[in-house]
Amino acid sequence: MKIWRHALPLLISGLVMLIISCHTETPVNIDNQVPSAEIVMIYNDTDTLFNADDSLFSFTDFQPSILEGTHYMKVRLSDNQKLYRVILSAEDHITGESYIIKTLNDPQEGEITLEFDYRDFPVVQEQNPQEFYVSASVSDESENKTSTSKLGFKIVKVFPFNLFFDALGKIEEIRGDSIDFRSKNNKLAFIQFMSKGCLSCVEEALEMKLMYADTLSYDLSKYSHSLFGNDTFTEAEFLSFVTREQKLPFDCFWDGTGSVKVFFESLLGKQIENEVFAVLPNGKIIIYDYLEGDFEPWIHSMYDLSYPNK
C-alpha cells in the first residue's frame, strides 16, 4: 500500500505529461503546400493568342480580341495532394470586379484545358468590345490556393437578350402572350425576380406601376419591366397576385422551373433571389443595390442614364 501511495502521484503526473505531449506535438500529414498554376497557352481553332512556352511569342494586354467560337486555355497544375477545383475568372478592367466564367472540379495534375467563349462573359461595360483580365485560380482539398498571372483580352459584347433568346426562345407571359425578349434590345429594360412573401419585392413592383402610369415624364416605348415569380408561388397564385391583387400593367412570368433564373445567374456571375437589375440600351447590366439608396430614385436614374437627352 505504501508503494502504491508513493507511486500513484508519479503515474498520474506521467499520464498528464503524455496527454499534453500528444496535444502539443506537431500534427502529421497536414498539407501546407500551396499548389502551382501557370497559363501555358490560350488559343482557338485558327490562332494562338498566348503561348508562354514560345520565347519568340510576345503578348500585349488588350490587343487580341476574342470574337466568336470556342477558345481554350491550357493550364499547368501541380500539388502534393489532391486538387479540388480550378476557376476561370474574368476581372473587369474598369471596376476590378471579378466574375466566374468556368469551373472545373477535381482536376488532375499536369496540363488541363478549359473551354470558353465570348458568350460566357458578363455585359458590364459601356464600350464594345469590353476589356477583361482573364486568369485561373486553383485550390486543393486543404484549401491552399493560388492564381495564375492575368492576361488582358478584348471581348466582343453581345446583347443579353440575344443570348436569352438563343437559350430559351420566346417566354410565355402569365396572361398568355409569348414574348420575344430581343424586342427589348436598344431600350431600357428592368428585370425583377421575386419570391412569395417578399414585401420589398411588392413595393418595387408598385413603384414600377407608378412609373408606367407617369406617361408625361416617361416614354413607355423606351423602357419595359418584366417580373418573374419563382416556384414559391403556384402558377395560379402568381396569376392572382398579378391580375387581381396588384393589377400589374407590365409583363409578368411564372418561372416555375427556374430556367430563367439560372440563365440570368450565369449571365450575372452570381446567385440571384429577390433581385432587380436594369439592362441599358447599350447592353450594360446594372444591379439595384438597396444599400445605396431607395428603389424609386434608382429606376428614374436608370432612365436618365439611358436617355440623357430625353
Residue 61 sits in a domain whose CATH number is 2.60.40.10
Hey, is 166 helix, strand or coil?
helix
Distance CA 249, CA 203 (A): 15
The angle subtended at Cα 42 by Cα 37 and Cα 48, nearest 5°, is 145
How much is the pLDDT for 14? 56
In whole angstroms, how far apart are CA 246 and each of 26, 54, 55, 239? 65, 64, 66, 10
Percent of the chain's residues with pLDDT above 70: 90
The reply to whether 180 and 51 lie within a common domain is: no
Do 165 and 260 form a contact (C-beta atoms < 8 A)? no
Residue 95 has pLDDT above 70, yes or no: yes
Hey, is 214 helix, strand or coil?
coil
User: Among residues 155, 181, 216, which one ends one of the domains?
Assistant: 155
Domain with 169 in it: what CATH number?
A: 3.40.30.10
Residue 67 has pLDDT above 70, yes or no: yes
Kindly state the cell numbers that stand for 2. Answer: 505504501
How much is the pLDDT for 41? 95
In whole angstroms, how far apart are CA 238 and each of 124, 152, 173, 220, 235? 31, 45, 11, 24, 5
Average pLDDT over residues 62-88: 89
Hey, is 230 helix, strand or coil?
coil
Do 226 and 219 form a contact (C-beta atoms < 8 A)? no
Residue 228 has pLDDT above 80, yes or no: yes
The reply to whether 282 and 145 lie within a common domain is: no
The reply to whether 143 and 214 lie within a common domain is: no
**CA-based nearest residue to 78, from 15, 121, 34, 43:** 34
Element (H, E) at 8: helix 2-24
5-14, 27-36, 265-274, 300-309: which has the highest mean pLDDT? 300-309
Percent of the chain's residues with pLDDT above 90: 66
Does residue 275 lie in a domain region? yes
How much is the pLDDT for 26? 45
The reply to whether 50 and 92 lie within a common domain is: yes
Mean pLDDT, all residues of the chain: 89
Q: How confident is the model at residue 218 (pLDDT cuts 50, 70, 90)?
A: very high
Domain residue limits at 139: 36-155
Is the Cα torsion angle 261, 265, 271, 273 positive or negative in sign?
negative
Average pLDDT over residues 140-157: 91
User: Among residues 120, 135, 155, which one ends one of the domains?
Assistant: 155
Hey, is 148 helix, strand or coil?
coil
Tell me the angle at which helices 295-306 and 199-213 cross, rounded to the nearest 10 degrees.
Answer: 50
Residues 14-51 pLDDT 10s? 554 555 445 444 455 677 788 999 999 999 999 999 99
Kindly state the cell numbers that stand for 203. Answer: 413595393
Average pLDDT over residues 210-237: 96
Q: Which residue has the cell 477583361?
A: 132
The reply to whether 300 and 183 lie within a common domain is: yes
Average pLDDT over residues 206-222: 95
Kindly state the cell numbers that stand for 83. Answer: 486538387
Q: Which residue has the cell 468590345?
A: 129
Instruction: Count CB-CB contacts under 10 A for residue 133.
Output: 18
Does residue 47 lie in a domain region? yes
Residue 227 has pLDDT above 70, yes or no: yes
Q: How confident is the model at residue 6 (pLDDT cuts 50, 70, 90)?
A: low
Q: Please count the structural domains in the chain.
A: 2
Do 262 and 230 form a contact (C-beta atoms < 8 A)? no
Phi-psi region of 156 (alpha: psi -120 to 50; beta: other; left: phi over 0): beta
Q: How confident is the model at residue 8 (pLDDT cuts 50, 70, 90)?
A: low
How much is the pLDDT for 302? 96
How much is the pLDDT for 2? 47
Does residue 128 lie in a domain region? yes
